[in-house]
Structure 1
Amino acid sequence: MKIITLICALALGTIVSGQIQKTKIVLIGTIHFENPHTDQFELETDNFLSAKRQNELEDLTNRLSRTKASKVMIERSIDKQQSTDSLYSLYVKDRYKIPVSEREQIGFRLARKLKLNRVNCVDKFYGMTRDSLMAATAKENNQLYLLNDLQVHAKAMIKDFDDKLKNGTITEVLQYINRPEELKRNLSIYLKYIAKVGAGKNFVGAESVSEWYLRNLAIYSNIINQVEPSDKYVILIFGQGHIPILKHLLENNDNFEVVELKNVLQ
């Protein structure tokens, strides 16, 4: 009984002293390399298989590998884990040429350098089902200006990202789009424009935003479900638009310490 009491006392002392082991997690908001055409606003395509970009990807993943992360998580549906495991296994054996996708070009490449057994799939897709109703509601309520302003805002943001990509390295682009002001800029599309459509009546805008939050909450639940107590460091690679919400959720979970990307890439 004295041994059990001692163990309990030591555990309690660790908790009280605030020494609970937190998992560090770095959230990498990316551009989509292959333009999957699932987003309303997309970057122009670039040749990520060129020697220049391949060298940049090597540099990026070399820097990220210094974290010695025990998990790399990517934007791929959780129900595709088995097929992803098979492809990653072939890639490690040099029997699979990775396609033009940040999931493989960054995720697979990094996991291989970290000597991981797998790349974790944590996405959950919920379609944005209210687009047509939102346009009709905006017209009915003299709110078409919101959708017009949204278009201007989004196109300016995408052009900015395109310009950064044309004139900088992949690492420089990722550093830029993961700055707090750029994350806020993306999230404001939902909170400043979409949420207001139909407010006070059918709330179709708010419901559309709730679908985006629901998807990110599902992703968050997959993340925390797959992180184990032994994981000291995790890297998440996702489209930049997801990062503001995921960052908020993880920052408010005291099992995690969110690490700024700029500090990792120094």
Structure 2
Amino acid sequence: MKSLFTLILSLVCIYCASQKKINVILIGTMHFNNPGKDAAKSEEIDILKDHRQNSLEKITNKIVEKYKPTKVFVEYPSKNQKTLDKFYDLYKTGKAYYQADTLTKAWQKRYFEECEIFQLGFRLAKKSENQKVYAMDHPAEMRFDLFQQKAKEMQTIDESAFQKKIDESSNKTNSCYSKNDLADILKCFNTEKELQQNKGIYINLFNRLNKTPDFYGSDLVAGWYHRNLIMYSTIQNTVSDNDQNIVIIVGQGHAAMMQEFIKLDERFNLIKITDVF
């Protein structure tokens, strides 16, 4: 009888161990290279300045010390994973991962030199001794440029509503940027209030831009969810039971969506950056 009890207890322990959730550290960021493509315009931070670089060192060191993630996911097209692999293979061996003299446009150099994919993602993965960095983006066209035209046609909301939201977003972003330390800026970007407001604009504003038979608003919202769901599925299908801790680095808008998905996913345990650094 004792042997049977011991066997049952062992099986229960094995089952419980197998149900252990994977910790997900979600970091919503601004674009360090600030290409200016987002509707909301903001001031720039120079990520190459010494105090920004020191902050990046401290942030990545704290993540590694506490969690040492086995996988780092970044907002790079998943279809171009092999290209990202080549960049990271050079980076982790201390070699130049891009050739500045081959880039003809200023924004290209800024992208490779300043973008959070390389400045934060690559740095963190290398310190964690990861063999690769995982691409998760699924780019899709979002026709925000039609907003005012559709608002004028449908008259379901005021034409100026979108611009008002954009101005509010820009002001909030600049308020976060006023903080000196990069860690504090990222914490500001990732508060529950900020993420909820970022996500809320799709329901409070965009989804109202419908007038039979034109459902531009709902199609826009559905497209946004569709893109993020595909991105999230890449993460779901890439992690394994051997992963204890992973990191997701995406723009704030994506982070607002990812947070919702992670909370609903029984495999994952959401770790807020305020609990990390």
Normalised by the length of structure 2, the TM-score is 0.85
RMSD (Å), alpha carbons: 2.4
The corresponding residue for 1:90 is 90
The corresponding residue for 1:138 is 151
The corresponding residue for 1:117 is 131
State the SS of the aligned residue for 1:99.
helix
Q: Unpaired runs of 5+ in structure 1? A: none
Question: What is the number of residues matched between the two proteins?
Answer: 259
2:176–2:189 contact (8 Å) kept in structure 1? no
- Following TM superposition, by how much is the alpha carbon of 1:37 offset from its aligned partner in structure 2, in angstroms? 3.8
The corresponding residue for 1:173 is 185
Mapping for residues 1-266 of structure 1, pairs under 5 Å: 13-14=12-13, 20-66=19-65, 67-96=67-96, 99-129=113-143, 131-132=145-146, 134-143=147-156, 145=158, 147-199=159-211, 201-265=213-277
CA distance in structure 1 between the aligned counterparts of 2:81 and 2:227, rounded to whole angstroms: 18
The percent identity for this pair of structures is: 29
CA distance in structure 1 between the aligned counterparts of 2:41 and 2:161, rounded to whole angstroms: 17
2:78–2:138 contact (8 Å) kept in structure 1? yes
CA distance in structure 2 between the aligned counterparts of 1:203 and 1:192, rounded to whole angstroms: 15
- Following TM superposition, by how much is the alpha carbon of 1:156 offset from its aligned partner in structure 2, in angstroms? 1.9
1:150–1:189 contact (8 Å) kept in structure 2? no
- Following TM superposition, by how much is the alpha carbon of 1:121 offset from its aligned partner in structure 2, in angstroms? 0.5
CA distance in structure 1 between the aligned counterparts of 2:11 and 2:138, rounded to whole angstroms: 37
- Following TM superposition, by how much is the alpha carbon of 1:127 offset from its aligned partner in structure 2, in angstroms? 1.0
Shift of the 240–130 alpha-carbon distance from structure 1 to 2, 3 Å rule, reads: closer
State the SS of the aligned residue for 2:114.
coil
User: 1:105 corresponds to which letter in structure 2?
Assistant: Q
Indicate the larger mover: 114-123 or 157-166: 157-166
User: 1:104 corresponds to which letter in structure 2?
Assistant: F
State the SS of the aligned residue for 1:226.
coil
User: 1:56 corresponds to which letter in structure 2?
Assistant: S
State the SS of the aligned residue for 2:24.
strand
Shift of the 250–11 alpha-carbon distance from structure 1 to 2, 3 Å rule, reads: farther
CA distance in structure 2 between the aligned counterparts of 1:238 and 1:11, rounded to whole angstroms: 41
State the SS of the aligned residue for 2:237.
helix
State the SS of the aligned residue for 2:27.
strand
Which runs of 4 or more aligned residues in structure 1 lie more than 4 Å from their structure 2 counterparts after TM superposition? Answer: 8-12, 14-19
Normalised by the length of structure 1, the TM-score is 0.89
